[in-house]
């Protein structure tokens, strides 16, 4: 069975916002007068898009109405995790937001996708997404227990938490993705705007439900035509926004969660025991009057309660065969910047490349598209 950490199964982060920059272009300018007149006089031979013939007679040059594209996608992004609850052997779920602290979580994806699409209207492209991906995740986190403590006049009882266990995990897994997208576009004189958006669901065996992702990618660019009919080069800039479902839950075998867990459990017991001895020594060193002080009573009660919770979690983990979890996760930053280009050999074939950077995510897209009339 594949080794996979508790959080590793949760950090699939890949998106398929890879709409090729084909668009309906309004032909303008004196140099394009002959081309515009030719479009107005031509008979539009295809069923799609709806209103295709009317728009052509208004001087719009329409792309072929249907197509298929295959695309390679690589991305790397940082993820933030909070609201972590963990239980063992289907028992009590413990709130571990203070006990488990994540230093860094990074997800990487390599995927191949196939996307059929049609122009439903002259300015609206709709498409489907079918993809397979290989993914690896790296998670760096620590498990903390209460250590020294004090009573702050303003903040109340305060712990100095001590790291009991430290983990760095890596996992590799595969996923299948399906979804759909919409791309409203507008082009005038070769300049264009495309507002690509899609919704996708990724099946991951380790999760109780599919991972849901929404992507929005506005792009603004210019298309430069060459001498041969249908041959052009488009360049663009834009943004790339990713939103994923925050709630995740599931169940894993303890052997898959944390290899070498027994040694870490032993160390955690020792640190909890050391902290408990410090509390007991402090209490036994107080005078009778000091033990009657409500502030000292509150300090001792809170200390014993915190150590009791930590001890219960570690004790339950030491006997666990399975671990159940729920948590919230999100992108460290939703937006990054993109730059791209597409070379169109003719109205049927096009090659595309795009890179995304800045923020906490980078991505690379390359693809090949074939179009035909429908």
Burial of 281 (0-12, 13-18, 19+ CB in 10 A): exposed
Give residue 195's pLDDT band: very low, low, confident or very high (50, 70, 90): very high
Q: Report the CATH number at residue 17.
A: 2.40.128
Condensed to tens digits (0 to 9), the pLDDT of residues 106-152 reads: 888 899 999 999 999 989 999 999 999 888 777 777 777 666 666 56
Is residue 294 scored above 80 in pLDDT?
yes
Interatomic CA distance for residues 315 and 273, integer angstroms: 12
Q: Sign of the C-alpha dihedral, residues 250, 256, 262, 268?
A: negative
Number of domains forming the structure of the chain? 1
The conformational region for residue 193 under phi > 0 = left, psi -120 to 50 = alpha, else beta, is beta
Cα within 13 Å of Cα(208), Cβ side? 11
The pair of three-digit structure tokens given for residue 32, joined into one six-digit string = 């394009």
Is 303 inside a domain boundary? no
**Helical spans, DSSP H, in the chain:** 33-41, 52-57, 254-257, 261-284, 288-291, 294-318
- Please choose, from the candidates 300, 315, 231, the residue with its C-alpha nearest in 3D space to the C-alpha of residue 265: 315
Residue 101 neighbours by CB distance under 10 Å: 16
Contacts of 159 (CB under 8 A, 6+ apart): 146, 147, 148, 149, 306
Is 177 inside a domain boundary? yes
Give residue 183's pLDDT band: very low, low, confident or very high (50, 70, 90): very high
Counting every residue, how long is the chain? Answer: 374
Interatomic CA distance for residues 76 and 153, integer angstroms: 45
165-181: burial string, b at 16+ Cβ within 10 Å, e else: bebebebebebebbbeb
Interatomic CA distance for residues 347 and 167, integer angstroms: 53
Q: According to the model, what pLDDT value does residue 44 have?
A: 81
- Please choose, from the candidates 163, 149, 162, the residue with its C-alpha nearest in 3D space to the C-alpha of residue 278: 149
Condensed to tens digits (0 to 9), the pLDDT of residues 6-20 reads: 333 333 333 444 445
Is residue 2 scored above 50 in pLDDT?
no
Is 263 inside a domain boundary? no
Is residue 54 scored above 60 in pLDDT?
yes
Is 322 inside a domain boundary? no
Interatomic CA distance for residues 356 and 364, integer angstroms: 6
Is 40 inside a domain boundary? no
Interatomic CA distance for residues 209 and 203, integer angstroms: 7
**Average pLDDT rounded to a whole number, residues 199-227:** 83
Q: According to the model, what pLDDT value does residue 206 have?
A: 62
Is 332 inside a domain boundary? yes
Q: According to the model, what pLDDT value does residue 276 have?
A: 82
Interatomic CA distance for residues 24 and 192, integer angstroms: 9
Using an 8 Å Cβ cutoff, are 353 and 118 in contact?
A: no
Q: According to the model, what pLDDT value does residue 314 have?
A: 76
Is residue 368 scored above 60 in pLDDT?
yes
Is 265 inside a domain boundary? no
Q: According to the model, what pLDDT value does residue 153 have?
A: 60
Interatomic CA distance for residues 10 and 8, integer angstroms: 5
- Per the structure, the complete domain to which residue 82 belongs is given by 8-24+63-143+166-254+328-372
> Percentage of residues in the chain with pLDDT exceeding 70?
76
Q: According to the model, what pLDDT value does residue 4 have?
A: 36
**Average pLDDT rounded to a whole number, residues 328-344:** 85
The strand pair at 349-357 and 361-372 is best described as antiparallel
Is 14 inside a domain boundary? yes
91-105, 147-161, 359-373: lowest mean pLDDT where?
147-161
Give residue 282's pLDDT band: very low, low, confident or very high (50, 70, 90): confident
């Amino acid at each position: 069975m594949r080794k996979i950490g508790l959080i590793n199964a949760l950090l699939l982060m890949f998106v398929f916002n890879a709409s090729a920059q084909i668009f309906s272009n309004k032909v303008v300018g004196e140099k394009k007068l002959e081309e515009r007149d030719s479009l107005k006089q031509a008979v539009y031979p295809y069923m799609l898009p709806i209103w295709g013939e009317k728009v052509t007679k208004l001087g719009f040059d329409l792309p072929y109405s249907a197509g298929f594209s295959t695309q390679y996608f690589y991305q790397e992004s940082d993820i933030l995790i909070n609201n972590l609850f963990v239980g063992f052997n289907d028992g009590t779920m413990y709130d571990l937001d203070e006990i488990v602290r994540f230093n860094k979580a990074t997800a990487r994806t390599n995927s191949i996708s196939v996307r059929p699409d049609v122009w439903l209207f002259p300015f609206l492209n709709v498409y489907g997404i079918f993809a397979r991906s290989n993914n690896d995740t790296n998670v760096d986190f620590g498990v903390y227990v209460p250590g020294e403590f004090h009573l702050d006049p303003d903040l109340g009882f305060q712990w100095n938490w001590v790291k009991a266990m430290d983990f760095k995990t890596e996992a590799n897994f595969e996923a299948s993705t399906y979804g759909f997208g919409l791309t409203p576009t507008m082009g005038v004189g070769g300049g264009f705007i495309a507002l690509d958006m899609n919704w996708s669901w990724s099946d991951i065996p380790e999760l109780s439900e599919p991972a849901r992702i929404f992507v929005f990618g506005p792009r603004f660019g210019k298309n430069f035509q060459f001498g041969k009919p249908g041959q052009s080069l488009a360049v663009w800039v834009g943004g790339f926004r990713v939103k994923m479902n925050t709630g995740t839950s599931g169940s894993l075998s303890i052997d898959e969660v944390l290899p070498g867990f027994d040694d870490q459990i032993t160390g955690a017991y020792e640190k909890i025991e050391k902290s408990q001895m410090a509390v007991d020594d402090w209490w036994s060193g107080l005078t009778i009057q000091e033990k009657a002080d409500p502030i000292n009573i509150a300090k001792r009660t809170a200390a014993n309660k915190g150590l009791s919770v930590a001890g219960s979690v570690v004790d339950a983990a030491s006997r666990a065969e399975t671990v159940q979890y729920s948590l919230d996760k999100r992108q460290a930053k939703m937006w990054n910047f993109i730059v791209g280009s597409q070379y169109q050999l003719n109205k049927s074939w096009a090659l595309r490349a795009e890179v995304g950077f800045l923020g906490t995510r980078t991505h690379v897209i390359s693809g090949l598209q074939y179009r035909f009339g429908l």
